[in-house]
Chains A and B, each alone.
Chain A
Amino acid sequence: MYEFNYQRASSVADAAKKLGTGEDARLLAGGQTLIAAMKLRLANPTDLIDLSGIAELRGIKADKDGITVGAITTHAEVAASKDIQQHIPALADLAESIGDPMVRNMGTIGGSIANNDPAADYPAALVGLGATVKTNQRQITADDFFTGMFMTALEPGEIIESIHFPKPKRAAYMKFSNPASRYAIVGTFVADTGNGVRVAVTGAGACVFRVLQMEKTLSAKFAPDAVANIDVAADDLNADMHASAEYRAHLVSVMAKRAVEKAVAG
C-alpha cells in the first residue's frame, strides 16, 4: 500500500477536525475492509484517522424500547451481548454469521454500514428492524441511509456514532452464504415489529431493499406459507460466478420463508 499519515482520534469532535485537515483523509475502524482495499491500492487515502480509542463510540446499551450499539462495537461483541441475545436474538445471530471469528473480533458495525457492501449482513438488520443511524450531525433512518452500491447518505466529514434498533415482537435472519467468505449471496431479514412487518434483503441486489408485497401478506398473516409463493423479479438483481439473477430471486423467497419459520418458532 502507499504511504499515508496516521493519527489517533481522542473524541468524535477530534476525529471530525482531523478528517477535515487531510487531502483525502479516511476514518479507520476495524480495518477489515479498508486495509484490504489499501493493500490492493483500491483505496489510497493520504491520512487515516483511527477511531478505535474513542470510548464514547464503543458499547451496547439497552433501554425500554430497544438497543443502541456504538459505531466501533465489534461483530463479536454484538454476537456475545446478553442484552442483544435477550431482546433482539436475530441481531446477535446475524453478527455471529459474519465472516469468521478473526474478522468478527476486529470488524465493527459502523465500518460495515459505512462501507455498504451489497453482500454485507448488517444493512439487512438495520432496514429490517427499522433502525436509526446517529451521526455527529443528525439522525438518519435506515431506509434513507443505504442509497446504492457502496453508497450511503453520509456526507463528507460525517461520522457514525451509534445505531438504535427498536425491539421487535419477533424477527429472524436467514442467509445463503458464500461458502468461502460467508458474505451473503442472499440474506433475508424478517421482523414483526408490532407495528407492521418489514422484510429486508441483502446480497441479491446492488443495495439492501425491502419486499413490500411480502410485508403486506405477512402483516395479514405471519406464517411461512404467506411468502412462499411471492416471486421477486430477477431483472435488477446481481449475477456473478456465484449465482445467477434468477437463482438469487428464488433464494429471496426461500430465505424469507425460512426466516418466518424461525421467527415463529422463536
Chain B
Amino acid sequence: MSVRLSMTVNGKPVNADVAPRTLLVDFLRDEMRLTGTHIGCDTAQCGACTIHIDGRAVKSCNMLAVQAEGSNITTIEGIAAPEDNMHPMQTAFREHHGLQCGYCTPGMVMGAIDLVQRHPDPDEAQIREGLEGNLCRCTGYHNIVKAVRAGATAMKSR
C-alpha cells in the first residue's frame, strides 16, 4: 500500500507516494536528500532529528511521513533567510563554539529556535530545560547555552 502525501518543505510544495511505514526522517534524508537532519538514536531520545512542523519542533524519527500531510515543514537547510548564508542561531553556535563534532547541532539549532519563539529572552534555566530533548556527546552543553542566549538576542534584531 502507498499513500499520497502533499506537504511543503522549506517553502517548496512536495507531492509523493510513500509507504505508510516510512519515517519522516527517512523521507527527508533519502527521498529529498535533505541530509542535514541527522539520525542519532532512532528511538526518540536524542533530538538530532528535530525539525519544525508548522513552526513547532518535533522529532522526525518518531513520526511517519504520512502524519505530516498538509503541513509546513522546515529543516535545518531551510532556516536561513534567502539573502543570508546562515540563520542568526547558526552564527551564534559558530561564534560561541556551541559544537564540536557537529552531529547534534542541526537538532540543537532547530530546538533552540523553537525555544526562542516561545521565550524570546530565555535565561540559563529556561535554555537547559528547553533543550531537555537534545543530547550532545561532545560539548558539555556550556557553550551551547551561551550560543542560544546570543542567538536569542540576535534573533530579536533580525
Contacts and interface: CB of A to CB of B under 8 A. Distances in A.
A, B co-complexed: yes
Interface of A: 1-6, 8, 28, 31-32, 35-36, 38-39, 48, 50, 52, 76, 99-103, 105-106, 180-182
Nearest to A105: B56
Nearest to A181: B45
A172 to B, nearest CB: 19
Interface in B18-77: 19-21, 23, 42-45, 47, 50, 53, 56-59, 62-64, 66-67, 69
Nearest to B107: A102
B79 interface: no
A102 B43 contact: no
Given A3-B21, A4-B21, A52-B67, A101 B111 contact: yes
B133 interface: yes
B57 A105 contact: yes
Nearest to A3: B21
B132 A182 contact: yes
B109 to A, nearest CB: 14
A32 B62 contact: yes
B57 A101 contact: yes
B132 A76 contact: no
A164 to B, nearest CB: 26
B19 A102 contact: no
Nearest to A74: B56
A101 B19 CA distance: 28
B112 to A, nearest CB: 11
| Residue picked from A48, A50, A105, most chain B C-beta under 10 Å | A105
Contacts of A5: 1, 20
Contacts of A48: 20
Nearest to A182: B132
Given A31-B67, A35-B62, A102-B133, 20 more contacts: A2-B21, A3-B20, A4-B21, A8-B69, A31-B62, A32-B44, A50-B67, A52-B67, A99-B132, A99-B133, A100-B47, A100-B134, A101-B57, A101-B130, A103-B59, A105-B56, A105-B57, A106-B59, A106-B63, A181-B45
A100 B67 CA distance: 20
Interface in B127-150: 130, 132-134
Contacts of B1: 3, 5-6
A106 B42 CA distance: 16
A180 B50 CA distance: 17
B3 interface: yes
A254 to B, nearest CB: 22
10 contacts: A3-B20, A31-B67, A99-B133, A100-B133, A101-B132, A102-B133, A103-B44, A103-B59, A106-B63, A182-B132
B9 interface: no
A198 to B, nearest CB: 29
A180 B59 contact: no
B39 to A, nearest CB: 12
A101 B20 contact: no
A9 B8 CA distance: 22
A101 B114 contact: yes
Given A99-B133, A100-B132, A101-B115, A39 B43 contact: yes
A102 B42 CA distance: 14
Nearest to A96: B129
A36 B58 CA distance: 14
Given A102-B57, A105-B58, A106-B58, A31 B47 contact: no
